[in-house]
Chain A
Amino acid sequence: MKKRWLQSVLGLVGLVLLAVGLYLAKTTDAAEGIMRALPYVCIGIGSGLFGQGMGGVIERSVLKKHPEIAKQKEIEVKDERNQEISNRAKAKAYDVMVFVFGALMVAFALMNVDLAVVLMLVFAYLFVVGSGVYYRIKLEKEL
C-alpha cells in the first residue's frame, strides 16, 4: 500500500516536472547560465519519474486482477538462480566500470579538461571504490 502511494506521488511529481520543463523550454528564449539546461533536465527527470511511477501503478493494478501472474512474478524475483545471475552480472559490470572510469579519468586529464570536472570524476570513482570496500568489510562481519 505504501509503495503504491509512493509510486503515485512519484508519477505526479514527474508529470509536474515534465510540464514545468516543457513550459520553461517554450517560454525562455535567451536563457543564460543554469537556465539554459534546467528545462531539459526537468523534462528528462520528469519523464523518468512519470514513466516509472505510472508503470508501477499500472503493473500493480494488472497484477491485482491476475493473482496467478503475481505469484509467478514473485517466484521469478525470489528465485535463487535468478538472484545469483543478477548479482554476478552486477559484479562483472562493476569490474568493467572501474576500468572505464579509470580510462575516462586519464583521457580527461590528457585532454586538459577543466580540473573541476576531472576532480569530480576522481571523487565519484573513489566513492564507488570506497563503497565496494565498505560493503566488503560489512559483509565480512555479517557472514
Chain B
Amino acid sequence: MKNRLEELRKQRGIRQEELAAALEVSRQTIGSLENGRYNPSILLAFKIAKYFDVTIEEIFIYEEELL
C-alpha cells in the first residue's frame, strides 16, 4: 500500500528515529512503512494518523489491485 508517511515526516522535519520513538516502534519499521514494504496494523495506522493530526486516508492510499 502506498503512503505519504515520508512526505509528512520530512514536511515536519522529523527524523525516522524520532518518529519511531514517538510511536514506540523500531526505526526499521518506519523505513519499511515509508518504502511500502510493510503495511501497518490498524492500531499503528491510527497512532500514526493521531501523531500527524490527520486522518488515516490522508496518509495511506488504498488502491484496489488490478486483476
In this complex, what residue of B is CB-closest to A77?
B26
On chain A, the residues within 8 Å of B36 by CB distance are none
Q: Among the interface residues A76, A78, A80, A84, which one has the most CB atoms of the partner chain B within 10 A?
A: A80
On chain A, the residues within 8 Å of B32 by CB distance are 81
- Say yes or no: is A79 at the interface (Cβ < 8 Å to chain B): yes
CB interface residues, B 31-45, toward A, < 8 Å: 32, 38, 40-41, 43-44
Please measure, in the bound complex, the distance between the C-alpha atom of A81 and the C-alpha atom of B24, giving whole angstroms: 12
On chain A, the residues within 8 Å of B28 by CB distance are 81
Among A75, A76, A80, A82, the residue within 8 A (CB) of B44 is: A80
- Say yes or no: is B3 at the interface (Cβ < 8 Å to chain A): no
- Say yes or no: is B29 at the interface (Cβ < 8 Å to chain A): yes
Please measure, in the bound complex, the distance between the C-alpha atom of A75 and the C-alpha atom of B23, giving whole angstroms: 10
On chain B, the residues within 8 Å of A78 by CB distance are 24
On chain A, the residues within 8 Å of B43 by CB distance are 80
- Say yes or no: is B25 at the interface (Cβ < 8 Å to chain A): yes
- Distance (whole angstroms) from the CB of A84 to the closest CB of chain B: 8
Q: A80-B43, A81-B29 are in contact. List 14 more A-B contacts (CB 8 A).
A: A75-B20, A75-B21, A75-B24, A75-B25, A79-B25, A79-B29, A80-B40, A80-B41, A80-B44, A81-B26, A81-B28, A81-B38, A82-B26, A84-B38
Q: B-side interface residues toward A, CB under 8 Å?
A: 20-21, 24-26, 28-29, 32, 38, 40-41, 43-44
